A and B are shown apart, each in its own frame.
Chain A
Amino acid sequence: MNTLPIESAANPLPPKVRFSLRRVWLLARATVTQLVRMKILAFLVVFCLLAAGAGFAFSVINPEQQLNLLKSVTLGALQIFSLVIGVVSTALLLPKDLEDRTLYTILSKPVPRFDYLLGKLLGVLLLIGGGLVVMDAVLSLVLWLRQTVLLDAYLANLRSEKLDSPEAVAQVREIVARQGLTWNLHWAVWAIFLKAAVVSAVALLLSCIASSTLFTIVITFCITIIGHGEALIREFFLTPNLGGTFNRIASFALAVICPDLAQFDIVDGVIAGELVPWSVVGDMTGIAALYVTVYLFATHLLFVEKEL
């Protein structure tokens, strides 16, 4: 064993500890492992498989309805899952580390607080992202199988009733192709991830201020709900001579604090078979990146001053 510490007076240390992606990645990996061992992924898989199974459980009239229903139920389940996991796991992480004093042992090492925060958020996002990728793959497979089976059955039905004119067959193929597996499905999952990322960043900010995990969870869900109606609040504030002073101040505060989550609401369009242009995907991604950056920066300003 060495008898002298490596950091001796003869080897003066640089005074500044800089941001390190490697350190952030290490903290993110530890966070993912922590959450995986909390059986969160198992919960996700069971939840989404149940949701996918429910998509087959209803009696429907035609292939369009069947595919529509399958997408509607599974994408809805993914939205709920990603938001719940994002809010709950983010709200739990900081208080748990503080309660267990793990935060002390980490921050008493040469670890800048920003690296710690970013690592925690990245860990949650990796978990949600990983879960969504798996579920996207499962959903794509189920949808593709379902659309193949439905198309064959419907065409067989048309043939048996002597209604299989080329126009009718082409129409059925077109409907099934539009409602079946397309890139739009992946964009819908991407939008779900972006929304969860923004909401997780809000939860991280609140967990720095709040004195209890329950408070963080409740307030984050309130902000999520308000965030879906942000456009209305903004419109109210921007319309002159509408409402009293208090209402206008309150609407301004909400418009500033809450993210506009309706920006990520493309799921309904995808379920209806609408195309999602690349420009919309780009805009959504940019807006989400901006929101996450702003919330993370605000969190850092609070966390760096936080008394541990």
Chain B
Amino acid sequence: MPETPAVSVQHLTKVFKGSLGKGAFRAVHDLSLTVHSGEVYGLIGPNGSGKSTTMKVILGLLRATEGQTSIFGVPSTEVGSRRSVGFLPENPYFYKHLTGRETLCFYGSLCGLRGRKLNERADEMLVLTGLEDAAARRVGGYSKGMLQRLGLAQALIHEPRLLVLDEPTAGVDPTGSRVIRDLILSFRARGITVLVTSHLLEQMQEVCDRVGIMARGRMVREGRLEDLVAVENQTELVLENATPELLAEINALIQTAGKDARLLRSGRPRTTLERLFIEATQESGKP
């Protein structure tokens, strides 16, 4: 029996109707993607490429103009699909009058948790996100990084199988950013599927199993990260115990076998995700 994908997007088109003389705007055009259970999928693209719109349709916050989206096989239009999802929006704000702990209890209660289970879960999330010392403080006094971590904690409070993170490190300092990256890696280790968007491509490269690059509402590249960042028409040799002399002769000896040198790996040298991103998005903009 084939595994049900964590997220399935089939031929999604989203058109925003224009108002008062403004024309309609097509934010997403015939987009299809699948996020498999247990993987970290990065959706990247320039501003206005349709990433957030896609996420909102997946979460049922927007309705698809055409196409279907589902979460673990349940259509996004059903409220029930959100039982399995935790969502962290970009630059989240919470009710400023609540403390960190009260915020988590509020979101946990919305998901049906109560009593001891709710308190335990809130404590667990505070420890996981390193907010236990700030648990009794009002959210209004939290820093940007703390808000982001609280956002992650509320997204995880009901133990979802899928996490949707929209720019989780936006506006966070490098240390806070690293903490969030480590958390994403720990989610993967725990078997939680993650769908993430970010502009910090270096970080995406560190955490994602697969990425999709969007531009102008379309998917322009998609695949496993290691395949995408491989350069098609080049080959790299990785040598062990290579002397400087050997390195100097390597161009001449490239057609023959080395003596003490051992070929460990043969493949394509990697470009960076950042370079690939720029190339892909520029290509899609050409007429």
Contact between chains at A14 and B93 (CB < 8 Å): no
> Per a CB cutoff under 8 Å, which of A33, A100, A105, A308 touches B62?
A308
Distance, CA A107 to CA B56, complexed state (A):
11
Residue of chain B at shortest CB distance from A108: B87
Q: Which residue of B lies closest to A111 (CB)?
A: B110
Is the C-beta of B188 less than 8 angstroms from some C-beta in chain A? no
Interface of A is mostly: loop
A23 touches B85 (CB 8 A): no
B106 and A30 contacting across the interface, CB-CB below 8 Å? yes
> B39 CB to closest chain A CB, in angstroms?
15
Contact of B97 among A13, A33, A305 (CB under 8 A): A33
Which chain B residue shows the least CB distance to A106?
B110
A295 to B263, CA, bound (A): 76
**B151: interface (CB < 8 Å):** yes
Cβ–Cβ < 8 Å partners of A307 in chain B: 16, 61-63
B22, chain A: closest CB distance, angstroms: 13
A101 engages B95 (CB within 8 Å): no
Decide: B159 and A2 in contact? CB cutoff 8 A.
Answer: yes
**Counting CB contacts under 8 A, is B214 at the interface?**
no
Known: A7-B83, A107-B61, A110-B82. A102 touches B110 (CB 8 A): no
Q: Is B192 among interface residues, defined by CB-CB distance under 8 A?
A: yes
CB pair B128 A1 closer than 8 Å? yes
* Count of B interface residues, CB-CB < 8 Å: 48
* A14-B80, A110-B79 known; A104-B110 Cβ under 8 A: no
B84 touches which one: A3, A13, A305 (CB < 8 A)? A13
Chain B residues near A (Cβ < 8 Å): 4, 16, 56, 59-63, 74, 78-80, 82-98, 106-107, 109-112, 124, 128, 151, 154-155, 158-161, 164, 190-192
5 further A-B contacts with Cβ under 8 Å, apart from A15-B78, A23-B109, are: A8-B161, A16-B78, A30-B95, A105-B107, A308-B61
**CB closest chain-B residue, reference A3:** B190
Q: Is the CB of B93 within 8 A of A109?
A: no
Residues of A within 8 A of B (CB): 1-9, 13-17, 22-23, 26-27, 30, 33-34, 37, 100-102, 104-112, 305, 307-308
Set of chain B residues within 8 Å of A37, measured between Cβ atoms: 96-97
Q: Majority SS of interface residues in chain B? A: loop
Cα separation A2 to B178 with both chains bound (whole Å): 23
A16 and chain B: residue at smallest CB distance: B80
Docked complex Cα distance between A102 and B61 (Å): 13
Residues of A within 8 A of B124 (CB): 1
Indicate if the CB atoms of A109 and B95 lie closer than 8 Å.
no
B74 touches A15 (CB 8 A): yes
Give 6 closest A-B pairs by Cβ, nearest first.
Answer: A108-B87, A37-B97, A100-B93, A17-B79, A5-B159, A308-B61
| Chain B contacts for A30, CB-based, 8 A | 95, 98, 106
- Contact across chains for A109 and B97 when beta carbons are under 8 A apart: no
15 contacts between A and B (CB under 8 A): A7-B83, A7-B84, A7-B160, A13-B84, A17-B83, A34-B95, A37-B97, A102-B93, A105-B154, A108-B61, A109-B111, A110-B110, A111-B79, A307-B16, A307-B61
Give bound CA distance, A292 to B263, whole Å: 78
A13 near B83: Cβ-Cβ < 8 Å: yes
